[in-house]
Amino acid sequence: MELASEASIRITGISHDGEGVGRLDDGRVVFVAGALPGETVAIENIQKEKKRLVASLKAIHQAHPERVQPPCPVYDRCGGCQLQHASAGLQGDLKTLQVRDAVSRIGHLDTPVLPTLTMANPWRYRNKGIFHVNEASGQARLGFYSARSHDFVPASGCLLFSNQVNTLLEDLEERITATGRAGHIRKVMVRESKATGDLMLAFITEDQAFRLPKLVEGLIADYPALTSVWHNVLTNPRLATGRAWHHLAGRENIQDAIGHLTVSLSPASFFQVNNLQAQVLYDEVRARAGLTGQDHILDLYGGIGTIGLYLADRAGRLTGVESVGEASRDAKANAQALGLTNTHFVTAKAEAWLPRYLKDQSRPDLTIVDPPRKGLDPRLVDTLIQAAIPRMIYVSCNPATLARDLKSFQAQGYQPGPIQPVDLFSQTAHVECVVLITRK
């Protein structure tokens, strides 16, 4: 439904999706992609989208002094980045604002939010990407979808990936086209080790079998850096990848590193997408951990064990809990490779596992939680509170659910310390946060 054609407004805030936020003359809030706080802009196509008003940016009357020209040629169409029109410094300030807004508006908390730790060089940092395969007039292209749509945008040459990955993607477009069977492949996943330069590639299809073995043989022969190739079967289109992984060629795992920690990971395992900033994030965890060398650390939502293993030199004992079996197995292998004997990794849902564990084990000295965007399961929050867990470090990739969960902890006698945002996702609206939560 279109409500008014045009208006001129002042942008006063930033949404969690990176849109500028302002008000129409009648006081209603409107979200404008591409507009920055402090700017005066002309907007058009003011429409209701779900429960909010959105508008297109028509012209900028007064630009933010740190507005920059987005370097990506498809930025206005691609849904991957939202903040390329802001300088790197301004992106950090906007993320700090986003976190402050979530903490006060959703959490109703006065917890301080520290300035966001940003990257010195905020480009070509991503170590993983999932690209849609699109076929038009017989030519296969790899790319992303526009924001909130299935409009395909070609993305070979993406500035968040290395030249090596972009070269592979461009060549892959030609090779997939040459098979004449582009429709067989829905997506491809690429992982690049920032430590070794090795590449892992996965072809994602709806079919149970992968039917282009010659494509794999050719790639392995021509790309020495391509050390691992997989097939993933995706039957639920709402997911990024399916549960079934079949090994096609090369090694099963790829090695990568976060700071001093070298790890091995399989294709199904979660790994922070930005190695350099993951180290900054983990150092922030370490700075809050207050470890004595004897402590028992519980690393919930542990992935391949990286946070716990990063701290293991200062721990007496480490228990990791992760719901994806492949990731837990990687965690065990990683601990073994490091020669650690004081670690234990469990495949389980943290909310189901913790109550059972606490029945016959003493409370951990430090509990780390690092959930996906939906935040902590309410049952886990209840268990942590009931057990009077003394010290927790919450690592979050979603300020809104972090604020919601902090509110629950604060209401039950916990004190969140200052929140440290870390920018692991430069050019996008996403931000990671670390906070220590102690029992009063």
Ligand X SMILES: C[S@@+](CC[C@H](N)C(=O)[O-])C[C@H]1O[C@@H](n2cnc3c(N)ncnc32)[C@H](O)[C@@H]1O
Residue set of the binding site:
272, 301, 322, 370
For 261, the 3-state DSSP assignment is strand
Q: Counting contacts by CB under 6 A, is residue 405 touching ligand X?
A: no
Neighbouring-strand partners of residue 11? 22
Q: Counting contacts by CB under 6 A, is residue 256 touching ligand X?
A: no
Q: Counting contacts by CB under 6 A, is residue 261 touching ligand X?
A: no
Whether residue 224 contacts residue 242, with contact meaning beta carbons closer than 8 Å, is answered with no
Q: Counting contacts by CB under 6 A, is residue 296 touching ligand X?
A: no
d(CA 63, CA 42): 11
Task: Respond yes or no: is residue 72 known to be catalytic.
Answer: no
Binding mask 209-248 for ligand X (x = CB under 6 A): ----------------------------------------
CB of 126 to ligand X, least distance (A): 15
Pick from 295, 326, 370, 405 the residue near ligand X by CB under 6 A. Answer: 370
Of residues 74 and 273, the one with the C-beta less far from ligand X:
273
Pick from 92, 302, 399, 416 the residue near ligand X by CB under 6 A. Answer: 302
Of residues 277 and 323, the one with the C-beta less far from ligand X:
323
d(CA 144, CA 131): 6
Residues in 323-342 at the binding interface with ligand X, rule: CB under 6 A? 323-324, 327
Question: What's the Cα-to-Cα distance from 269 to each of 1, 202, 327, 378, rounded to whole Å?
Answer: 42, 13, 5, 24
Q: Counting contacts by CB under 6 A, is residue 301 touching ligand X?
A: yes
Of residues 199 and 309, the one with the C-beta less far from ligand X:
309
Q: Counting contacts by CB under 6 A, is residue 267 touching ligand X?
A: no
Q: Counting contacts by CB under 6 A, is residue 270 touching ligand X?
A: yes
Beta-strand pair 317-322/343-347: parallel
Which residue in the list 78, 158, 397, 433 is annotated as catalytic?
397
Pick from 15, 166, 228, 272 the residue near ligand X by CB under 6 A. Answer: 272
Residue nearest to ligand X (CB): 303
What would the two tokens of residue 226 be? 């391509």
CB of 317 to ligand X, least distance (A): 18
Question: What's the Cα-to-Cα distance from 226 to each of 184, 218, 229, 297, rounded to whole Å?
Answer: 21, 11, 8, 36
Q: Counting contacts by CB under 6 A, is residue 306 touching ligand X?
A: yes
Of residues 24 and 385, the one with the C-beta less far from ligand X:
385
Of residues 84 and 334, the one with the C-beta less far from ligand X:
334
Q: What share of the chain is helix, strand, coil (3-state, %, to 5)?
A: 25, 35, 40
| Size, binding site for ligand X by CB under 6 A | 21
Query: 434: left (phi > 0), else alpha (psi -120 to 50), else beta?
Result: beta
Binding site for ligand X (CB under 6 A): 270-272, 301-303, 306-307, 321-324, 327, 349-351, 370-372, 377, 397
Residues labelled as active-site residues: 397
